[in-house]
Amino acid sequence: MAVQYDAVVVGAGFGGMGAAIQLKRLGLNNLAILEREDDLGGTWHVNRYPGLAVDIASVTYSYSFEPNPHWSRLFAPGAELKKYADHVADKYDLRRHMTFGAVVNGARWEEDEAHWVVSVEGQPEITATYLLTATGFLSQPHRPDISGIDEFAGKIIHTTAWDDSYDLAGTKTAIIGTGATAVQLIPEVARQAADLTVYQRTPIWVVPKLDVPIPSAVQKLFSRIPLTQRIARAVSSGILEMIMVSAVLHYKQVKLLNKGAAAASRAFLRSQVRDAALRKQLTPDYDFGCKRPTFSNSYFRTFTKRNVHLETTSIDHIAADGIVTVDGRKTEIDTLVLATGFNLWDVNFPAIEVIGREGRNLGKWWRDNRFQAYEGVSVPHFPNFLTLASPYSYSGLSYFTTIESQMQHIERLFGELKRRGADTFEVTEAANTEFLDRMTENLADSVFYGGSCQTARSYYFNQHGEAAILRPTSTRNAFVEAKRFPLEAYSIS
């Protein structure tokens, strides 16, 4: 039977849409974009909790080839990102390729047919010459395995499944978690709930968010003279690149920035919280940068409100009507918000079962060996497969850098296939090993290995203690390599 699609793209977030735009530019129009949710937008469709906003300036957190002059603020609220995703899908004619509610269980490479067989829950299998997974990094919600949680009689909400119809007004709410999500959410919930207890296991570094509305005159300027927005993007991206290269990658050489940021966060905390004991509880004991730092003007101050309590004693169990800490105290609640983040290393790499040549199971192989992918996109033994949310693929501080460098990689690789009239590629063991060795070596100077990160409990680290998400190079290097990687890195036939 003839193969059904040129390519299947799993995921209709910004990553999957970027890949699809590139494939269409290359003439691969027979695409299926499969999305498990009921709409496009990935993270920006799933996350709708109060306070959601980007914390990378919006001029940078967007496709460079599709600037949006209408961002209302320097850091746009989440709903504007969803709207932008809708606009991109329409403009690049992606919707007709998308199927929503399509839960992909797995995919396997058929050696004889030289194609992928993709299994989708409740549907017949589909076949494609190429498979691209764009399933995101933070897409498998982590629900904590706390004893008694299933017996809780009140309302439980995970931040990735916000219930807009649920009124928090007058509730006795608990929030578990103090990551980037909680930092945005806590001030909002504190405004509504009668009583809020925040369960913190690990404090987080928070610095002020220098956010301002973008006046309509500036929006008009961006719209009429796009060069002005490109300049704004270049400035904001340049600052991020400087931070990434110095504070993250060259921590051993330039600790000053991390120490300065930590000092700024402590000073900010002092300016917001008078109570020294509370300040101590809110102060991290790991280096700035080990865990993703966050931005908020109201987070620290919220803990000084009369209706807000910070609980740092470990949770023992959850009862039907409250949370009991290990010292035996029970806090009665009716609403439990899980701001407990995502599971990356057990279930997300990869998010679906992928079986390559000679039956190699990608998830098992990554776990038995090391997490790895050539240039963060391809893996030996997995022909015609690009894994876009991979170890060492996240480049720079804005996700769009990752997406666009991967689009370049796709362009070079598929362009070469076209030139040679070929249709199968597979990265060589040698290229993959060289890349992994180089990334490992580069990490030695980073904050992850040079800094004091033992107590950070950061999801940047996997179960073997490797910081295997971020690509430890400049974004410039990522783009250069995406454009010029040696074609011998792939066997093409």
In whole angstroms, the minimum distance from the beta carbon of 185 to ligand NAP comes to: 9
Binding mask 2-41 for ligand NAP (x = CB under 6 A): ----------------------------------------
In whole angstroms, the minimum distance from the beta carbon of 237 to ligand NAP comes to: 16
Q: Tell me whether residue 204 or residue 489 sits nearer to ligand NAP (CB atom).
A: 204
List 135, 181, 236, 378, residue binding ligand NAP (CB under 6 A): 181
Under rule CB under 6 A, residue 174 binds ligand NAP:
no
Q: Tell me whether residue 181 or residue 298 sits nearer to ligand NAP (CB atom).
A: 181
**Would you say 32 and 9 are in contact if contact means Cβ atoms under 8 Å apart?**
yes
List 191, 292, 301, 476, residue binding ligand NAP (CB under 6 A): 292
Single out the segment in contact with ligand NAP by CB under 6 A; choices: 176-184, 231-239, 368-376, 464-472: 176-184
Residues 99-158, interacting with ligand NAP (CB under 6 A): 138, 144, 146
Q: Tell me whether residue 202 or residue 325 sits nearer to ligand NAP (CB atom).
A: 202
List 179, 284, 322, 380, residue binding ligand NAP (CB under 6 A): 179
Write phi, then psi, for 333 (nearest 5 degrees). Answer: -140, 160
List 459, 461, 485, 490, residue binding ligand NAP (CB under 6 A): 459
Under rule CB under 6 A, residue 202 binds ligand NAP:
yes
In whole angstroms, the minimum distance from the beta carbon of 308 to ligand NAP comes to: 16
Q: Tell me whether residue 178 or residue 378 sits nearer to ligand NAP (CB atom).
A: 178
Binding mask 332-351 for ligand NAP (x = CB under 6 A): -------xxxx---------
- d(Cα 152, Cα 156) in Å, to the nearest integer? 8
- d(Cα 431, Cα 376) in Å, to the nearest integer? 12
